[in-house]
A and B are shown apart, each in its own frame.
Chain A
Amino acid sequence: MKCSTFERELLAHHQGLDLGVEARLHAESCKHCRYLWQSHLAVLHRVGEEKQVAVPPFLSTRVMAGLKEPETRVQLLSVWKQALQVAAVLLALVGGYSASVRMEERSATEDFSVVLSDYFLMEPGSSIEEGWLYSETYEQE
């Protein structure tokens, strides 16, 4: 038997105990496969031991003591809900305030741009002061 055939058989018989005669004979002659088989059995043995460990006494008592009252959870949920609502209102207020500040800034920039456009769109060769001197508003005064 080849080592690869032995490995396939070991995988097929995952409990490792019911290997065929041929595989057992191969393991006796091949050190590598024997070690592999032994380590396989060692792992399964350890799994078996861990499985046998009994649940500690009073686990159910510990669990029952650790349970929270459903009402408390509901109350906590509603507290969270209220906190979220308050946070949403605050956010809306802060957002509104910052938006109004921005709008003011933008309108101020617009005033400045009006002056600039007056300057650049006036008659060529004249200064802006002339524009103001001969404006209708000046004559009325």
Chain B
Amino acid sequence: MKMQDDNAIIALIRAGDKEAYRQLVERYQQKVFQTCMGFVHNEADAADLSQDVFIKAYEKLHLFKGASQFSTWLYRMTTNMAINYIRKRKFRSWFQRIDDEKNEMDIKGGEGADAHLLRTEQKKLLRRALERLTTSQHKAFVLSHYQDLSNQELADVMDLSLKAAESLLFRARARMQATLKQMVKSERHEM
């Protein structure tokens, strides 16, 4: 089947062909899911969040004017919804982390203890480093590292100039490095 242009599919949906939306979902589901993983770090939550994103995108499709690409609009919605999701989840984050660790143990039960420990440590490091970022730095990091967007695409999604997007990404990396440095220092003091 010939791949249809996003705008052509949107026109079909607007004309009443609801089933045409499946093509858009299948086209962007991996990218949206990856972005959600960058915020929630948990497959089940990322799947639920991705579902919510696509449903909301369908409901708000009348607001998409075509000034930017559909993907840009969708990724912007994804990052905003993901930020809202983790804000709401923050108050129960402690319990969630325990659940995650339990899930991890269940799923990766076959791997060795050392490998499991390493994975858990890596996850903890990543989470702590990301937690210290500002909202826009977090968005920039996820879009760049999880979705492999170019700096120009990042600028489009975040509605920034190219220079501002580059600067934001640099500051995000610098802050992450500073957090890691602090963690390394404190661990060495503990040792």
Contacts and interface: CB of A to CB of B under 8 A. Distances in A.
A63 B25 contact: yes
B41 interface: yes
B146 A47 contact: yes
Contact of A59 (B25, B41, B118, B170): B25
A118 to B, nearest CB: 69
Contacts of A69: 18
A70 B15 CA distance: 11
Contacts of A64: 18-19, 21-22, 25
A46 B37 contact: no
Interface stretch (A17-25, A50-58, A85-93, A107-115): A50-58
Interface string B132-176: 000000000000011000000000000000000000001001101
A59 B47 contact: yes
Interface residues of A, number: 34
B129 interface: yes
A51 B30 CA distance: 9
Contacts of A14: 173
Interface in B63-113: none
A73 interface: yes
A56 B173 CA distance: 30
Interface of B: 16, 18-19, 21-22, 25-26, 29-30, 33-34, 37-38, 41, 43, 46-47, 50-51, 54-55, 58-59, 118-119, 121-123, 125-126, 129, 145-146, 170, 173-174, 176-177, 180-181, 183-185, 187-188
28 contacts: A11-B170, A11-B173, A11-B174, A32-B188, A36-B181, A39-B125, A39-B180, A40-B177, A42-B122, A42-B126, A43-B125, A43-B176, A46-B123, A50-B37, A50-B38, A50-B41, A51-B146, A55-B50, A56-B33, A56-B43, A59-B25, A60-B25, A60-B29, A63-B51, A63-B58, A64-B19, A66-B51, A67-B58
